[in-house]
Structure 1
Amino acid sequence: MIEHIGINTAQGRFDALAAGPADGRGVLLLHGFPEASLQWEHQLAILSGAGCRAVAPDQRGYSPDVRPERAEDYRIEDLTQDVLDIADELGWPKFDLVGHDWGGNVAWHVAAEHPDRVRTLTAVSTPHPGAYAQALKTDEDQQQRSSYVPTLQNVRGAEKQLLANNAAALKQMYEGVIPGDHVREYVERLSEPGALAAALNWYRGVKFSGRTGKVKVPTLYVWGTEDVAFGSVAAIGTEEWVEGPYRFEMLEDISHWLPEQADEGLSRLLLEHFVAHG
């Protein structure tokens, strides 16, 4: 069964979903934008069945008690510290880390800067930030895919635009491949006062953030060929940023919303990754 828990840290209380035995292998799953911990529903069930203690927090800005208003409070360093604080509160000196979309970006940084804490890394959809930055400079396709980012970063009233007309623009982002009950929960959560502004601060906090170095921990990178946000140049180039054991899985005809669209396939890959690096 999936539990609703609270994780108290110095920054506040993070809401989270959890499953599996308390003494199971610790797995932390980080969601992306514009979603929440619910995106890991299938993985939580599968991992708990395999004896893991899987925890998916609603991250900074998504948990109502940890929702600073300033963009500079969403630096990658702050988001990384949240992960370490959550793991400390869970009593995990070392853990498996899984991240999708923005959660993947944070996961890359945690693994690069704190390899002593990360048993394995799994990045879902999101390439290494260094590979992404390089592709953004040189690859016209990636530039086109990322053309939406300045709008979310800089346009005043972006929140109102996304929520206008019964959140039509926000719903459109999910491409019709995410389960309807998940979409309803995401839209309801992000319609709360200040919630979407906080979620967009992940984009707006980039200019205050440092760079991410190379990763030495065992890494699995899973990317869908139909991803609208990240192209093949960044995906293939990610290998150059991993110095430890590396596995790249390319899923045909799968979009950006991989944890929900390819839930069974991703869960299988996670278990294989954990067994290989136990």
Structure 2
Amino acid sequence: MSLIKYLVVRSVVFGISLFYGGLTVLTVLFRWFKNGNEFFVVKERSLPPICLQDAAYGRHAYLKLKNIKLHYVENGDRNKPLMLFVHGYPEFWFSWRHQMKEFAATHWVVALDMRGYGDSEKPAKKSEYDLEILQKDIVELVKALKRDSCILVAHDWGGVIAWNVAANYPEVVEKLVIMNSPHPTTFREKLRGSIGQFLKSWYIFLYQLPYIPEWSVHTNDLEIFDRIFVDENNQLTITEEELEGYKYTFSRKGAWTPPINYYRQNFNIKGMIEGEKSLPKIRAPTLIIWGENDIALSKDFPELARPHVQNLTVKYVPKGNHFVQQDKVAEVNAHLAEFLNKA
């Protein structure tokens, strides 16, 4: 990219980010005016709710990798095939609780807190959340668990990482399961070529700004979770106690900047416009489970991934939202079981 083109693109992207930043500030201030000073209060939560300590989900543990200490929850027999779960934004290991209970009988299930999330370490530098580093976390974790490979199951941002791991480190992934996370190449192409997806991805531009994203989510006692974990009828898809689990985790000091830094580091100007180098074709058998009611991602992303995967199965979940593994548990677990049982 020439210097002139870079400066023009940088100015345009910065302008879009400022537009969404200004819109966000005005929206928050309007809601503050409407709701009063309590709107900026986040309730103090000193103790985790019982659901986060439920032994039915598994045992809590830590592993020190080369440059990071990661927290994870494990369940099942360690002699059985490793099934590694990687969460999205804004989540943590708990988003996989239903799948961990379901598959602990047949697999050694491990759900981690990615770096910067939950009880894992939270590096301060934005550069510590580069996609190359995030991939190596997964590869190193598999080795630290004394396995050569795993069944890799991922959602949202975890899916971004898992797509890359399966392409760049094929020896580590026996089978790949992706939930509501587009193949990186198709997402870049769609973002540049589809006004609909561009508008749906407005938050990516907002997240390029400092302070404002963190400020906006710390409103009305972390109401963001009341808004995202709902079904097509705007009813909560998780229990009140589970909702408290999310609010407890993300009400802790420094809980938001590291997850948002995933966007700041990896959706840079050059990557947005030119795209990164093409990923190798994925050889591992791959399943995409897609909630059809995802408001942030186009429904055609699963089929667009076919040229990038040798052996792809796609399962749509009617009325499933972006957080499909929590929204439509029975359907997701059935698709997972069918895929895992295939030779």
User: Secondary structure, in 3 states, of the residue corresponding to 2:148?
Assistant: coil
Contact 1:115 1:217 (8 Å CA) reproduced: yes
Task: Indicate which of 288, 295, 300 corresponds to 1:221.
Answer: 288
Q: Which moved more, 1:81-90 or 1:162-171?
A: 162-171
- Deviation for aligned residue 1:63: 4.3
Q: 1:4 offset after TM fit, Å?
A: 1.3
Letter in 2 for 1:224: G
Deviation by residue 1:85-125 (Cα, 9 ceiling, x = unmatched)? 11111111011000001011111010000111100000001
User: Is 1:194 matched with 2:273?
Assistant: no
Letter matched to residue 162 of structure 1: V
1:117 corresponding residue in structure 2: 172
Cα distance between partner residues in 2 of 1:154 and 1:54: 37
Based on CA coordinates, which of the two structures has the bigger radius of gyration? 2
Asked if 1:4 is matched to 2:60, the reply is yes
Letter in 1 for 2:241: D
Name the structure 2 match of 1:271. 337
User: In the alignment, is the contact (CA less than 8 A) between 1:226 and 1:256 conserved in 2?
Assistant: yes
Q: For 1:88-103, list aligned pairs within 5 A.
A: 88-103=143-158
Quote the Cα distance in structure 1 between the aligned partners of 2:205 and 2:338. Answer: 38
Q: Looking at secondary structure, tell me which structure has more strand per residue.
A: 1
Counterpart of 2:308? Answer: 241
Helix, strand or coil at the partner of 1:205: helix
- Note if 1:232 corresponds to 2:299: yes
User: Contact 2:118/2:249 (CA < 8 Å) preserved in 1?
Assistant: no
190, 196, 209: which one aligns with 1:135:
190
Gap regions ≥5 residues in structure 1: none
Q: 1:81 to 1:212 in 2, by over 3 A?
A: farther
Could you tell me which of 29, 34, 47 is aligned with 2:85?
29
- 1:134-154 Cα offsets, whole Å, 9 max, x none, are 111222221121112211232
| Residue-by-residue CA offset, 1:43-92 (whole Å, 9 max, x unaligned) | 0111112x200000001101445211121111111111100111111111
Sort the Cα spacing of 1:37 and 1:15 in 2 relative to 1 into closer, same or farther, 3 A.
same
Moved more, 178-187 or 192-201: 178-187
Paired letter, 2:66: A
Letter in structure 2 aligned against 1:196 = W
Pairwise CA distance, 1:13 = 2.4
Task: Give the letter aligned to residue 154 of structure 2.
Answer: G
- What is the distance in 2 between the residues matched to 1:182 and 1:200? 22
What is the RMSD computed on CA atoms of the aligned residues? 1.7
Q: Which residue of 2 aligns with 1:253?
A: 319
TM-score of the pair, normalised by structure 1: 0.93
* Partner secondary structure for residue 220 of structure 2: helix
CA contact (8 A) 2:153 2:176 kept: yes
Residues 186-231 of structure 1: per-residue CA shift (max 9 Å, x gap): 2221121111101111111214685561312110011111011111
The TM-score, its normalising length taken from structure 2, stands at 0.76
- What's the CA shift for 1:28? 0.4
CA distance in 1, matches of 2:120, 2:154: 22
C-alpha separation in 1, matches of 2:110 and 2:120: 18
**Would the aligned equivalents of 2:178 and 2:288 in 1 still touch at CA under 8 Å?**
yes
Equivalent residue for 2:69, pick from 13, 21, 38: 13
- Residue-pair matches, total: 275
Pair 1:261–1:23, CA change in 2 (3 A)? same
Work out the CA distance in 2 between the residues paired with 1:168 and 1:273.
36
In 1, distance between residues paired with 2:142 and 2:83?
Answer: 9
Query: Which among 226, 231, 241 is matched to residue 171 of structure 1?
Result: 226
Specify the alignment match of 1:181 in structure 2.
Answer: 241
AA in 2 matched with 1:202? Y
Deviation (angstroms), 1:7? 2.0
Pick closer, same or farther for the CA change 1:250–1:65 going to 2, 3 Å: closer
Q: Which residue of 2 aligns with 1:62?
A: 117
Equivalent residues in 2 for 1:48-59 (5 A)? Answer: 48-49=104-105, 51-59=106-114
Tell whether the 8 Å contact from 2:114 to 2:120 is kept in structure 1 after alignment.
Answer: no
- Is the alpha carbon distance of 1:154 and 1:170 closer, same or farther for their aligned partners in structure 2, counting shifts above 3 Å? farther
Q: Distance in 2 between matches of 1:15 and 1:212?
A: 32
How far apart are the structure 1 equivalents of 2:188 and 2:285?
22
